[in-house]
Amino acid sequence: MAVGLVMTGLGPNVIIVSNWFNKHRGKVVGMVVASSSLGGATLPLLISPIVSNPDWGWRWGFGLLTALFWIFAVIPVYKIIRPSPEKMGLSPDGIEEISQDKIKTKPIEDKDMTTIKDAIFSRALWCLGIGSACLWFSIQGLNSQIRIFFELDAGFTAQQSVLLFSIIYWFSFIGKFSFGALSDKLPKRTVLFLSSCVLFIGSLLLFEISDNGVILTQNTMQLSLFTIFFGLGFGGSFSMIQLVAVESFGKKYLGRVLGIISMVDGLAAAGATQLLAAMADDASGSYLKAFGLVAVVTLIGIINVFFIKPIEAKSKSIQHLS
């Protein structure tokens, strides 16, 4: 399952659409990553009646998902999708305008001439890795515990908890596309900073000040705002990590770059689930420390954005070409 997700998931899709789109890359990558949230919100509802039916069950439900995957993914890959516009004698969108104005072509070419050695040892790659690790630590760690908090600590019913949890993903869908589209107008690192700030604000909405100091809120309105802000920040930051990677390293070694970033954030997500659960199981039985750690890690992600700088090729081959 894990191998399949890696080989057919976000990385290959971002690489393909980055080959096809230049001027509107932010919007399109935002649409691609937003589709994962849309699928997560709708496909369980689609197969739920089948899985719940005793005459059918989960095997037929997952069988339907398999059929849909073949129809909408496997077959189009071989029959419709092409890895680059050059395979069809075309150019990426916006290239004609750039060529006519004679602007921005050299920086794009320079990024595509960056060697994998320069990329691996660059500050930009490791800052993106740290930023992505902070993002997934916060998201995966919090998402693994937030429904328990909603029911046991905040006093919501199971249905209300599911509704609040789903709001996070609906607004992540909005955030992925909206911040991606915004990055076509503003510098991508600026948009990454903005989306990280929204995520941080969302994490802070879990807390309130009382006579006893800082506590976790049980206010329904504030928790609803938390799901909105956290969802928007999650979606926007997720999109922008991919787009900043393309902007920083070009497309030639993008697969390897995204692979390194995905490995780092995957380890962070796995560790977050166990760590936050262990922190919640201490003597206090409260999520205060666990969710406080999420806020701190999110703040580290914001600070990390300031250290992301465009890569400068250092290899002799690049210097010679220059």
Which residue is listed with tokens 């969302």? 202
Confidence band for 298, pLDDT divided at 50, 70 and 90? very high
- Who wins on pLDDT, 118 or 186? 186
Write down the pLDDT at residue 112. Answer: 56
- Who wins on pLDDT, 182 or 22? 182
CA distances from 101 to 24, 25, 86, 142, 250 (A): 17, 19, 21, 47, 21
CB count, 10 Å around CB of 155?
11
Alpha helix stretches (DSSP H) within the chain = 2-8, 10-20, 25-52, 58-69, 75-79, 95-101, 105-112, 116-120, 123-148, 158-182, 188-204, 220-249, 254-280, 288-305, 316-321
Digit-coded pLDDT (tens) for 26-66? 888 778 877 777 776 677 778 878 888 888 988 998 899 88
DSSP class of 93? B
Give dist(CA 139, CA 153) in Å, integer. Answer: 20
Confidence band for 169, pLDDT divided at 50, 70 and 90? confident
Write down the pLDDT at residue 284. Answer: 63
Is 0.85 topped by the overall pTM? no
Write down the pLDDT at residue 282. Answer: 64
Residue 312 corresponds to which tokens in the numbers above?
């400068």
Indicate whether 98 pLDDT > 70: no
Query: What integer is the mean pLDDT of 192-197?
Result: 93
41's CB contacts (< 8 A; 6+ apart) are 166, 169, 170, 173
Residue 286 corresponds to which tokens in the numbers above?
């409260």
Give me the domains of the chain, ranges plus CATH numbers: 2-318 (1.20.1250.20)
Write down the pLDDT at residue 111. Answer: 53
Average pLDDT taken over every residue of the chain:
80
Indicate whether 99 pLDDT > 50: no
